[in-house]
Amino acid sequence: MNAPPPHPDHTGGPQPEGYPPPPRQEAHGYAHRGAPDDPAAATVHGGAYPEPPAGPERLYPLAGWRTRVTARLFDLVLVALPALLLALFVTLAWVGVQEVSDGSTQGIQDRYPIFLSVIWFVLYTGYETFALSRWHQTLGKRRLGLKVAPVAGTGSLGSVRLAALVVRSSLLALPFLFLYLLIFTFGWFWWLLVIVMAVLTGGMAAWNRPNRQGMHDKIAGTVVLDVAEPQAHRPPL
């Protein structure tokens, strides 16, 4: 009588014909730690092995107040030149239209400051909103190594809603709308109003804790981070 065929060898030896291959032996938890030693085995059971866990998240400290002021001044100068030229062009165009229509050039000296105030406000708001939505930093902030991030990120970078960026940028540019009144009226009320707005938007970040936020940051839910030096954790304030 013929002897029965030998049992399948689970040690990795040759398998007799007609028997299924033995199950693959894996170390406990191996699939959660990294890729297998055999790349072809990644497709077994219809799926790939998960990626290894990522390293620690890069966190950044809050930017210093003086650094933020320097970056802001850089941006103001950057926007000033195109605003001055565009306001001059619009004023000359307005004068030309007025002279052709009724031959009058009255009030020319008053139109340029008005156009300049509005154009500077619009240009600065648009410039900062676009730069922050695209790169999380303006050119001034890029030069100083700063980025705007959501306050909920607790030191990590992240996206901010466009509506919040528009509000944030317009609050910073709001004093430009009063430029005409400051130059031509010299009223104490307008000077006081502009000083209060400047303190709330810019100066407030100097003493606000724990997030060093100006009023524009609080309304938009943002903070400004120093991205030049990543930290292992958020530094104490």
pLDDT band at residue 132 using 50, 70 and 90 as cut-offs: very high
Helix (H, G, I), strand (E, B) or coil at 18: coil
Q: Where are the domains of the chain?
A: 65-226
Signed CA dihedral, 127, 131, 137, 141: sign only: negative
Residue 6 has pLDDT above 80, yes or no: no
Q: Is the pLDDT confidence value at 128 over 90?
A: yes
Asked if 155 and 231 count as a contact pair (C-beta separation under 8 A), the reply is yes
What are the tens digits of pLDDT across the range 8-22? 554 455 555 554 555
Which letter does DSSP use for residue 148 in this model? Answer: E
- Report how far residue 97's alpha carbon sits from residue 91's, in angstroms, rounded to the nearest whole number: 10
The model carries a pTM of 0.69
- Give the pLDDT confidence of 166-210 residue by residue, as tens digits: 999 999 888 878 766 666 655 667 677 777 877 777 778 888 889
